[in-house]
Structure formats: C-alpha cells, structure tokens
Structure 1
C-alpha cells in the first residue's frame, strides 16, 4: 500500500505546473475553477482524496470517531465506509502538554504517522478519477 501511495504522490508532483506562484503569471491562472472529483469533503472537518474506486486517503486526525459502517457523501452520492485502516505509527493526541511550551507538541506531531485509509463499500463510478483536472493550463 505504501508503494501505491508513493506512486500517486510522485504522479501528482509531476503533473502540477506550479507549487509556488510565479511573479510573471497572473493570479487567476492559479484559481481552481471546479473542485476536482477526487477531492472529497469529510464529515465535520477535513478532506480526503479518492485514490481508487474503493479507497480514500486522509489525515488520521480528521477521523475522530468511529467511521466504520458510516455513510459518506461523495459529490452528491451516498456511499458507506466499510473499513478504516490507521497507519501503525499513528498516535492519538494525549493533550495536557502545559501552557506556552511548544517543544512537546512539535516532538509529538513529528513522531506520528498521521494517515488513514478508508475503504468504501461500493465502487465510485460517478466521478472522474483522472488527474487531468489538476493540471494548470496557460
């Protein structure tokens, strides 16, 4: 699964024409005109990316209650989360680090793997899974 994610991130990095706004390009060129189909709004907060017809990937900290067997809307079509797989290196935030001291928080955040896979019960057939919507055209 790690290999699949690595390949996806590499593909995304090569298809993006800009990471930093250039001084010689008008700001309107960087505006997203339409939300890409693979971008999924998560319940309550956060977002996920549709990486396959059955799989979403998101930050583990946005899955703050049991998502297993819960409904999720995918651009107007309801599906159900069949399985939730947290990375083995993910740790829950224990909180209570004291006031005004950032180092314990920074150490905690830098030593956890904040990623989760969500398997959908039904394949997503109504969305365009191609990455061509990300390419910024001049």
Structure 2
C-alpha cells in the first residue's frame, strides 16, 4: 500500500525541514544564482532560511527556530546580525515524540501529516539593529496565489527529480532558484507539485531538506512579493526508505496572506496581537 509521507527531516537528525531539487534534464548551472540576486534571504544557524520583510524583522518557518537553545545570530546578506527576540505564532505545534517513534517503526507518517497540516508554522525574528544594506521584501497580500508561477530560492539539499536527493544531507549547498505552478492555496497553505518533463516548467524545481523558511515569491506589479515560506512536503512510500525530491511529490508552504493580521500586529506592537512561545 502506498502511504503519504511527510519528509521534512523531522524524523532524523535535522530540525529544519525541507539547495533546490532540479529537473534531471537541465544543467544545474542554469539554476544557480549569485547571492546578490536575492540579498533579503536569511541564513538560519546550520540550515534553513528566513526572509527580511522589514528593516528590523525577519519571517521564517517556526520549526527552523532552535528548540533547545536561544537564537542569538542570523545572517543577512553575508553579515551576522544579532537577534533581539523571536515571536512564534501561538498556533504552532511541535510533533509529539510518540508519533515520530511510531512513524519510524511502521513507516506510516499519516498522523504526522495531520498534526502539521493544522499547525501555524510561522515565526518572526526581531533584530537588535535595523538592516541598512538590504531592501526588505514586500508581502504578497492579494490572496490570489492559485495558478500563479512561483519562484523558490534556497541553499538546501539538491538533486534531481529522477533520483531525488540524499535525505541524510548535506543540507546547505549552493544558492539556487527554481519555478513551479501553485496548484492549491487555501487557509494556512499553498502547495505545488514537482512535475516531470515534458509537463514541467523550463526551470521547474522543488524544495530540498534545509530549504525550510525560504521564500516562495510571486511577481506583483513587476516586483517580487513574498507569498509563502517553505515548510513541508508529501513523499510516497515508507518513511524510513523513501527518497525525497522525486517527480510527483507535493511541497506545502506557509501561506502568508493568511497571516497578514498577525504579522502586522506583531511588527507594529498593537496590543491585540497576542503572542506566546516567545523566546
């Protein structure tokens, strides 16, 4: 029986889930971009990303935040920046340990998918000093993501759609971008499918382990706008043996238009913006 599997490096050594996995028939050099192409990309410690959306604020997937230590530094445009505080969405859920152990024992990760699908995997990071050398990226607020072409950017694990990528890493590689068509957008999530050629876009790709928190960008009036954050993906097969990054897999991303009020409230400091899990 085919099982639906969430593979976001949740069951192994990595805390940051799902550097871009590319088409097998396109030269990797066509996917690579210099850091200057998207300087607002943030490197979290070790792996994972965020995006600068305000001179003093970064947004990321909540699961990229270290669970057992204080986040003190992140890197923006190659420069280490000091963190003042982290605000995690109150609806973020960590995975119960027993579910992880059950999935590892049986290969069935369906209940992990259920938990993650109902979680608000988003966090804001306030920097001690505003960033003066990088322009923040505007949020996409129209809520019309379905059917649009999205650009994804990251330094995580790489491979190609025919073979996938090694789930054991490395999870920080060279900076790449790729494109995909958003196939669903509702409530917390926007998702896309890694299509196999000839149905694929010329530079079609999918997130890899280590890309979590990285941007999903949509063109809005000629400018990139931040529509989502890489979060998790479906992989078919046994949780311990399936290979991520193959054609047909579905990537789900935090849909930021759903969180507009929360984001604006935290950044502005409005009293009605209730937060918890603050580090």
Query: Is the pair's TM-score, using the shorter chain for normalization, greater than 0.5?
Result: yes
Q: Partners of 2:130 and 2:136 in 1: how far apart?
A: 12
* Counterpart residue number, 1:129: 136
- Residue in structure 2 matched with residue 5 of structure 1 by the alignment: none
Q: 1:102 to 1:76 in 2, by over 3 A?
A: closer
Please point out which of 87, 95, 98 is paired with 1:96: 98
Deviation at 1:121, TM superposition (A): 0.5
- 2:52 and 2:137 in contact (8 A); partners too: no
Segments of 5+ residues of structure 2 without an aligned counterpart are 1-22, 139-221, 226-279
3-state SS in 1 of match to 2:111:
helix
Correspondence 1:72 to 2:79: no
CA distance in 1, matches of 2:96, 2:134: 38
Matched, 1:34 2:34: yes
Q: Which has the higher helix share?
A: 1
* Cα offsets for 1:73-112 (capped at 9, x unmatched): 2223232110110001001121222132222111111111
Distance 1:48 1:67 in 2: 17
Give the equivalent residue in structure 2 for 1:119.
126
TM-score of the pair, normalised by structure 1: 0.66
SS at match of 1:108: helix
Q: Is the 8 A contact 2:52 2:136 kept in 1?
A: yes
Aligned to 2:50, what secondary structure does the other structure show? strand
Distance 1:133 1:47, change over 3 A: farther
Per the TM alignment, residue 114 of structure 1 is displaced from its structure 2 partner at its CA by: 0.5
The size of the alignment, in residue pairs, is: 109
* 2:91 is aligned with 1:84: no
d(CA) in 1 for partners of 2:90 and 2:74?
Answer: 24
- The structure richer in strand per residue is 2
CA–CA separation in structure 2 for the residues paired with 1:40 and 1:57: 9
**1 CA distance for matches of 2:43 and 2:33?**
17
User: Please, what is the CA RMSD of the aligned residues?
Assistant: 2.8
Report matched runs for 1:18-57 at 5 Å: 31=31, 33-35=33-35, 36-57=38-59
The TM-score with structure 2 as length reference comes to: 0.35
